[in-house]
């Protein structure tokens, strides 16, 4: 299977996770008995999508990135695309993974509907997931541009 399939699916799973987090956020803003089930299901989609993005992206990183892309980026005019963007992405992603994993746990509370603190927690966690996925996407774009700049410089 070509490496592009892995990097594309990594981004697609991340995007699905972000969209599901938006869904959870909006549903939680207007929480009522009728949408609690949707919140619970979509929080599972968030967790599953982020984990799939992590696993596919990790496989890509181990199998392909170090052999070709990293070398191209470091030899090109944007070496910081690896030295900074990839390093930040590698470390910050674990925070995203923990938050995405926690979201289904946070919405399991039977008092989700009645307590303002629970609603605030779900809004905060889903909002942070949205922001972190978008940041990961931006760092990924910088890394891809670093590879492109490295190839153009050859």
pLDDT at residue 113, rounded to an integer: 65
**What are the structural domains, with CATH classification, of the chain?**
3-153 (1.20.120)
Phi (first) and psi of residue 109, to 5 degrees: -55, 125
Task: State which residues of the chain have pLDDT below 50.
Answer: none
What is the residue-wise DSSP string for 14-39?
Answer: HHHHHHHHHHHHHHHHT--GGGHHHH
**How is residue 73 written in tokens?**
């980026």
Give the position of tokens 């922001």: 131
pLDDT at residue 111, rounded to an integer: 67
pLDDT at residue 118, rounded to an integer: 85
pLDDT at residue 21, rounded to an integer: 98
pLDDT at residue 114, rounded to an integer: 67
pLDDT at residue 110, rounded to an integer: 63
**How is residue 34 written in tokens?**
């009728």
Per-residue CA distances from 38 to 31, 45, 126, 145 (Å): 10, 10, 14, 38
């Amino acid at each position: 299977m070509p490496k592009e399939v892995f990097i594309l699916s990594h981004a697609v799973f991340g995007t699905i996770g972000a969209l599901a987090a938006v869904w959870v956020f909006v549903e939680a803003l207007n929480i009522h008995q009728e949408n609690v089930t949707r919140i619970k299901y979509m929080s599972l989609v968030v967790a599953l999508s982020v984990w799939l993005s992590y696993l596919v992206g990790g496989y890509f990183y181990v199998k392909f990135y170090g052999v070709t892309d990293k070398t191209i980026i470091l030899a090109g005019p944007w070496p910081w695309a690896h030295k900074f963007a990839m390093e930040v992405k590698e470390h910050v992603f674990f925070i995203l993974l923990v938050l995405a994993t926690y979201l289904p746990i946070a919405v399991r509370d039977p008092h989700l509907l009645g307590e303002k603190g629970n609603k605030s927690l779900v809004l905060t966690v889903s909002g942070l997931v949205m922001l972190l996925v978008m940041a990961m996407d931006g760092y990924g774009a910088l890394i891809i541009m670093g590879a492109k700049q490295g190839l153009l410089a050859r």
